[in-house]
Amino acid sequence: MGGIDGNDTTRGPFPRRLADTVEAVAVFCAVYAATAVGGPLVAAPARAVLGDQAGATWTVGHEVPRLLSHLGGLATAVLLLGVYLRWRTRGRLSDIALDAPLPWRSAGRGLLVGLLLGAGTLALAPSGPGGVGPTRVVALGVLVLAGLLARGTAEELMARGWLLHALARSLPLPLAIALQALLSAFALVLLGEVRAVAGLVAAFGFGVFAALYVVWDRTLWGVCALHGAFAFTAGPLAAAFGRAADAPVAALPPVLVGIVLLTAALRRRGGLPR
């Protein structure tokens, strides 16, 4: 798709490029908002049966509805973007790097990178309240990881799949990377998941890192696995070990190191596509 694969698509008239940019952002916002509604709707029956245990992490009553919510959000994103691409461009999800069949080597590498990135965050995170026993982590770990892999896939499909590729058709790729990172960070702010300036900076940095990873890996599957594994290790797993989960300051150094390494790797390949 234009820009991200090296094709120069920024030579059209400015009004057309501006309209395409506005459309890309509008679609991203609409789909993101729909996932924020669709996910909880899917999980509502399970919450009604199991009771409201929103604050009781690492319990069945919390993790099962959360898994269903993440799966519902992913299904919403796939459905809406798939329909939009078919209607608007006669395209499909493979046009935004979600190619099939799943490239297992790329997904496995992304999973490993995400775990390493999260481990660095966990090591730097300050001590938090309590923690849970290893029995719960072993019993519920797969459930928690599966939910965050679903959520990571949904967010990557919207941000680094649709938004990055669409912006790269009308903007230079470095600007497209920065803009999609900023918009995805502000989306987290609007959802109430980022509340401090440090969190906004960390979310922006991760957006840049993830976009560079997609350009380097040439597929979306790797960064989907990376996002889910990173969220799992730096979030629930960190909390289980008595660390402050999702500490934004702790996440910044590993993310910045990743940006530097990816920039160097892309330079050896010839730099960002123009």
Q: Both tokens of residue 135? A: 């029995």
Q: How is residue 248 written in tokens?
A: 């934004």
- Please determine, for residue 29, whether its predicted confidence score (pLDDT) is greater than 80: yes
Residue 181 resides in a domain: yes
The answer to the question of residue 5 being in a domain is: no
State how far the alpha carbon of 153 is from the alpha carbons of 23, 32, 35, 40, in Å: 22, 13, 12, 17
**Matching residue, tokens 């940006």:** 259
What confidence tens digit (pLDDT) does each residue in 169-184 have?
999 999 999 999 999 9
In-domain check, residue 62: yes
Average pLDDT over residues 259-273: 91
Give pLDDT tens digits for 63-120: 999 999 999 999 999 999 999 999 998 888 888 877 767 789 999 999 999 999 999 9
| Confidence (pLDDT) at 34 | 97
pLDDT in tens, 159-169: 999 999 999 99
Taking the C-alpha atoms of residue 233 and residue 215, their distance in angstroms, rounded to an integer, is 24
Q: What is the pLDDT of residues 202-229, one digit of tens each?
A: 999 999 999 999 999 999 999 999 999 9
Q: Residue 255: is its pLDDT beyond 90? A: yes
Place of tokens 């996932």: 35
**CA–CA dist 153, 77 (Å, integer):** 9
Structural domain includes residue 9: no
- Overall domain count for the chain: 1
Q: For the chain, how far is it from start to end, CA to CA, in angstroms? A: 12
Residues near 44 by beta carbon (within 8 Å), at least 6 away in sequence: none
50 belongs to a structural domain: yes
Return the minimum-mean-pLDDT range out of 27-36, 40-49, 129-138, 164-173.
129-138
Query: What 8-state DSSP symbol labels residue 162?
Result: I
Higher pLDDT, 12 or 9: 12
CB atoms within 10 A of CB 58: 21
Q: Percent of the chain having pLDDT more than 70? A: 93
According to the model, what pLDDT value does residue 139 have?
Answer: 87
* Tokens linked to 63: 């993790």
Of residues 190, 185, 168, the one with CA closest to residue 177:
168
Residue 112: predicted pLDDT? 97
Report the chain's mean pLDDT, rounded to a whole number.
89
Domain interval for residue 191: 14-269
> Is 229 a domain residue?
yes
Does the residue 156 lie in any domain? yes
Query: What are the φ and ψ backbone dihedral angles of 194, each rounded to 5 degrees?
Result: -125, 120
Q: What is the mean pLDDT of residues 48-75?
A: 86
Q: Evaluate whether residue 251 is within a structural domain.
A: yes
Look at residues 100, 91, 72 and name the one whose alpha carbon lies nearest to residue 27. Answer: 91
Given a contact cutoff of 8 angstroms between Cβ atoms, the answer to whether 227 and 156 are in contact is: yes
What was the pLDDT predicted at 163?
97
| Closest to 66 in 3D by CA, of 172, 146, 5 | 146
Is 230's pLDDT higher than 60?
A: yes
What is the rounded distance in angstroms from the CA atom of residue 210 to the CA atom of residue 185? 12
Note the pTM of the prediction, 2 decimals: 0.92
